[in-house]
Chains A and B, each alone.
Chain A
């Protein structure tokens, strides 16, 4: 049996899906979180018979006639794959609007059971919906639910399975075309009539809700942005410099700095394992993976805080605040949602761009979303903060701020090069503020932690083993006495000259950057492997071994380089899917490389002059590169301008 969950965005479909399947799919308190259908089997405790029940969570839709890509997924599924029953999740607080989609579902000749969700919020407002009357008017079963607390869920599932077994088909809603001939208007009139008959509102319309009062400050056109920065500052400072940093320091210093390697060395020496294999396992695998896993507490604290923020309803206000600014650069508040999702992982962030209908805006958002510091970049930020800026709380938040500035500048530049006008209108339904659920935050935190551990024990483990081998062996496949003669040094040596204008000297940096393209955490792991072999000093200590190849300015420039250059392979794959053409993918990668390179170069060279009163290494080369890039950008802009002029002239001549 197949049960589909369908309803308007942010009605609680994925919350219900997680509750009845035991999954932990991403839930956000804003519309447009789910962009793909997700499937899982019904939990055993809800099963009535032995036959397995498949639950399909569909992206939110306002109508069966799709307006966005993810609405089309919902339409295609309910009309094409014909589930046995549809559970239509309705936000009880938006009854009239939700019923528009409900009436369309009722016409599909598929059994429908309505989940009248968010009853707790409805009751808090003193409102009542007569669910029995609603069911009678729509000729289907209606169950009152509070999905995030599991209330009414069992009855809902039982009713859905019963409806599917009986194949109870509803009579289509009786739309009245006597006054309005248009179907949409007739449908709206019908839903309005039903809502009026079933919904008793005890709200004082003059009373301004707490949410509205809070929005006057939080979503204020001038205060909104500084408040957002303050909030992100607090989150990052607490995660990197506060509790997260404290716990990570212990894990790095004691657990992976002493206990684990000492125990492993003692064990391997005890059983007389070959020293090279011992070094590979302890310095390569354990050292590299340990350096990344050491930042696990920090990641957990960060995602716990972000989970609380998401669930409170604040993040949708950020989209509203940013819409005004994003409009000026050819984007809109719609672009903010993928960027917020991208702060967890760039892949779902890039995938979330499919909620954007305007193709240009979608492309720009896909290119710019990986600029947001994702979870994988956090260990790099934390490592460089600890080494070069100990006890400074501004480094993490400054990366976020820098990302927003570069998104704005990058958007402007892309708009100038690929000339287009933004016609997109941003409408978002703001959920009410609520006290965030600690359970939700813990679920999100554990989900990210699990992902982080899996990543460290797969792709990062493999890369570290490879890095250790390549730094220990030469091309003749014999161990080398100095790293400079290794395979890795020769690879790094090929691209290291390109990094000189950035003030980055050394093949080790180039090697770390190369491995970072596979997964960003590899940057930290590669330094751990390379520098642990070369030095006894701990990697993460202030003034430690990293200080030999960076100073604070070039260290900060290196952070910016890793922030803006193309994301990991998997995220590039997601970009390829969403951009839909190789031409745009190469443009995106070229743009990200260019931005990362330029920003790092400017920080390094200008920063060195300001901070040290002298230029960084490679200043002369940087001038040449700067002039070349500026020349290239001007040329691209002129070319696009002349294309526009040509189109306009042709249009005039053609009398258009």
Chain B
């Protein structure tokens, strides 16, 4: 049971991180990029 709970939490975090990474790369910006992101791009990134 602890393995299932920890696994769900961990893979949930990974899935969220993967989603964020994909969105950012799609907008030519690294996640957390300090670059000149426009507001439109930021909205797309969900940032």
Contacts from A to B (Cβ < 8 Å): 25-26, 34-40, 268, 271-274, 277, 280-281, 285, 344-345, 347-348, 351-352, 375-376, 447-448, 450-455, 457-459, 461-462, 465, 519, 568-571, 573-574, 576-577
Contact = CB atoms under 8 A, between A and B. Distances in A.
Interface residues of B, number: 24
Nearest to A285: B10
B29 A570 contact: yes
B5 to A, nearest CB: 9
Given A36-B38, A273-B3, A281-B10, A454 B31 contact: yes
Given A281-B6, A465-B14, A459 B31 contact: yes
23 contacts: A34-B36, A36-B38, A37-B38, A38-B36, A39-B39, A40-B39, A271-B6, A273-B3, A273-B6, A277-B6, A281-B10, A345-B30, A347-B28, A351-B36, A352-B36, A375-B34, A458-B24, A459-B24, A459-B31, A462-B14, A462-B18, A570-B25, A571-B30
B38 to A, nearest CB: 5
Contacts of B28: 347, 570, 573-574, 576-577
A570 B2 contact: no
Contacts of A574: 28-29, 35
A570 B33 contact: yes
B34 A447 contact: yes
Interface string B3-26: 100110010011001101100110
A274 B3 contact: yes
Contacts of B20: 458
Contacts of A39: 38-39
Contacts of A347: 28-30, 33, 35
Contacts of B33: 345, 347-348, 451, 455, 570
B2 A345 contact: no
Main secondary structure on chain B at its contact with chain A? helix
A216 to B, nearest CB: 34
Given A273-B3, A281-B10, A462-B18, A573 B25 contact: yes
A60 B42 CA distance: 22
Q: Which of B10, B14, B18, B28 has the most CB of A within 10 A?
A: B28
A403 B7 CA distance: 44
Contacts of A453: 32
Contacts of A348: 33-36
Contacts of B7: 277
Given A351-B36, A458-B17, A519 B30 contact: yes
A568 B6 contact: no
A4 to B, nearest CB: 13
A502 B31 CA distance: 32
Contacts of B38: 36-39
Nearest to A25: B36
A447 B47 CA distance: 14
A570 B31 CA distance: 9
Contacts of B18: 458, 462
Which of A447, A450, A458 neighbours the largest number of chain B CB atoms within 10 Å of its CB? A458
Contact of A462 (B2, B21, B36): B21
Nearest to A450: B32
A37 B39 CA distance: 8
A448 B34 contact: yes
B16 to A, nearest CB: 8
8 closest A-B pairs by CB: A454-B32, A348-B35, A451-B32, A573-B28, A39-B39, A458-B31, A347-B35, A459-B21
Contacts of A40: 39
A375 B25 CA distance: 17
A531 B22 CA distance: 28
> Which of B13, B18, B30 has most A Cβ within 10 Å?
B30
A273 B2 contact: yes
B3 A455 contact: no
Given A39-B39, A268-B6, A457-B17, A345 B34 contact: yes
B30 A459 contact: yes
Contacts of B25: 459, 569-570, 573
Nearest to A35: B36
Contacts of A448: 34
Contacts of A462: 14, 17-18, 21
Contacts of A571: 30
B32 A455 contact: yes
A428 B24 CA distance: 34
Contacts of B35: 26, 345, 347-348, 351, 574
A42 to B, nearest CB: 14
A268 B5 CA distance: 12
Contact of B34 (A277, A344, A458, A519): A344
A280 B6 CA distance: 11
Contacts of A352: 36
B24 to A, nearest CB: 7
Given A268-B6, A277-B7, A462-B14, A455 B30 contact: yes
A461 B30 contact: no
> Which of A38, A352, A447 is most buried by chain B, counting CB atoms within 10 A of its CB?
A38
B14 A277 contact: no
Contacts of A455: 30-33
Given A462-B17, A570-B24, A577-B28, 18 more contacts: A26-B36, A39-B38, A277-B3, A281-B10, A285-B14, A348-B36, A351-B36, A455-B31, A458-B17, A459-B17, A461-B14, A465-B14, A570-B28, A570-B29, A570-B30, A573-B25, A573-B28, A574-B29
Nearest to B23: A458
Given A272-B2, A281-B10, A38 B39 contact: yes
A26 B37 CA distance: 10
B2 to A, nearest CB: 4
A183 to B, nearest CB: 33
A458 B6 contact: no
A621 B32 CA distance: 41
A369 to B, nearest CB: 12
B14 to A, nearest CB: 5
A452 B36 contact: no
Contacts of B17: 457-459, 461-462
A491 B18 CA distance: 21
A538 B7 CA distance: 27
A375 B35 CA distance: 12
A144 to B, nearest CB: 29
A568 B31 CA distance: 12
